[in-house]
Amino acid sequence: MVKPKLVVVYLSTQGNTKKMADAIAHGAEDRGMEARSVSFYEADMNEIRDADAIALGSSTFWYKMHDAMERFIERMGKELGQTAIEGKVGAAFGSYGWSGEAPVDIARMMRSLGIKVIDPVLRVQYEPNERDLEECKRLGKDIANAVKKTVRPVA
């Protein structure tokens, strides 16, 4: 049986958001998904097109997500088009220091592309601890549960 697929794309300067991304992927795997956590510059648009779910994460720098992540989401919309993206399950996350705007902005951009972003939009202050990583795994499991409930039309 083909497993449903999750791609987790992150932008992380010191590895904090990357740790969240890896834990989200592990949580989804525990619930039977095929999941891959990749840095934004390694992300493959064809893989995203084929995925049932996408999780996007960036740390907050100067009160917003990194420009490169914003450009990545815009490129995703342009290259894949709304029909390929619409109806996918999504999640937004990121590490922050004091204001934490990036995950909220990511969720807004994903929703404007028609992605069904689930709650919570997950934010962790600085380096995730064990409890934070459990929450990230929980989000991965929730993504898998949401995918099971979603029937997407075959393209």
Kindly list the residues in this chain that would bind ligand FMN in the complex (CB under 6 A): 12-17, 59-63, 95-100, 126
**Cβ proximity of 3 and 32 under 8 Å:** yes
Instruction: Write down the least CB distance from residue 56 to ligand FMN, Å.
Output: 13
Q: How far apart are CA 9 and CA 40, in angstroms?
A: 5
Tokens of 60: 């907050």
Pick between residue 61 and residue 138 the one whose CB is nearest to ligand FMN.
Answer: 61
Instruction: Kindly report whether the peptide bond that precedes residue 128 is cis, defined as omega within 30 degrees of 0.
Output: no
**Partners of residue 124 on adjacent β-strands:** 95
Pick between residue 47 and residue 61 the one whose CB is nearest to ligand FMN.
Answer: 61
Query: Would strands 122-125 and 116-117 be described as parallel, antiparallel, or unpaired?
Result: unpaired
Instruction: Write down the least CB distance from residue 1 to ligand FMN, Å.
Output: 35
Query: C-alpha angle 32/83/35, rounded to 5°?
Result: 20
Pick between residue 85 and residue 106 the one whose CB is nearest to ligand FMN.
Answer: 106
Pick between residue 139 and residue 144 the one whose CB is nearest to ligand FMN.
Answer: 139
Instruction: Write down the least CB distance from residue 32 to ligand FMN, Å.
Output: 28
Instruction: Write down the least CB distance from residue 126 to ligand FMN, Å.
Output: 5
